[in-house]
């Protein structure tokens, strides 16, 4: 179980905490944590607590899913030469961006275990 600033998530065997280099430095949203498996699979979670942003985000779904084709992600995303998906949601009075690379089914199963404590 990984704990980070009011967040907890199950880390299955084969996955580890990662520290990806970002395309550009970000302070808001701020990186919260990242998990990786091998060189292709990565989940990177960033968050903000500014009310201005939180209300704009959709409510957290019961189960996470990706939609549409993979694409190169920009802004505060990890520096990768790989296409992925970006998700956004709000939970516990906070807003989150999540970048998913590699096997989406594995990443989404992990992301579904995310627990957010209200700040």
Q: Give 81's pLDDT tier (boundaries 50, 70, 90).
A: confident
Q: What is the pLDDT of residues 35-62, one digit of tens each?
A: 999 989 999 998 887 778 788 999 999 9
For the chain, which residues make up each domain, given as ranges? 2-116
Residue 87 confidence (pLDDT)? 94
pTM score of the predicted model: 0.86
Per DSSP (E only), the strands in the chain are 2-4, 7-9, 16-17, 30-37, 41-48, 84-91, 94-101, 115-116
Contact 32, 48 (CB under 8 A): no
Burial class (CB in 10 A: 0-12, 13-18, 19+), 107: buried
Residue 82 confidence (pLDDT)? 85
Query: May I ask the CATH class of domain 2-116?
Result: alpha beta
Q: Say yes or no to pLDDT of 23 above 60.
A: no
The stretch 82-109 carries a mean pLDDT of: 94
Residue 92 confidence (pLDDT)? 92
């Amino acid at each position: 179980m990984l704990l980070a600033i009011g967040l907890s998530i199950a880390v299955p065997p084969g996955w580890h905490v990662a520290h990806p280099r970002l395309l550009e430095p970000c302070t808001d949203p701020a990186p919260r944590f990242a998990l990786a498996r091998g060189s292709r699979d990565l989940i990177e979670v960033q968050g903000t607590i500014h009310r201005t942003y939180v209300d704009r985000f959709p409510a957290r779904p019961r189960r996470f899913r990706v939609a549409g084709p993979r694409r190169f992600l920009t802004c505060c995303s990890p520096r990768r030469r790989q296409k992925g998906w970006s998700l956004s949601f709000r939970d516990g009075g906070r807003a989150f961006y999540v970048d998913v690379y590699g096997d989406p089914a594995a990443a989404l199963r992990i992301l579904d275990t995310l627990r957010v404590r209200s700040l």
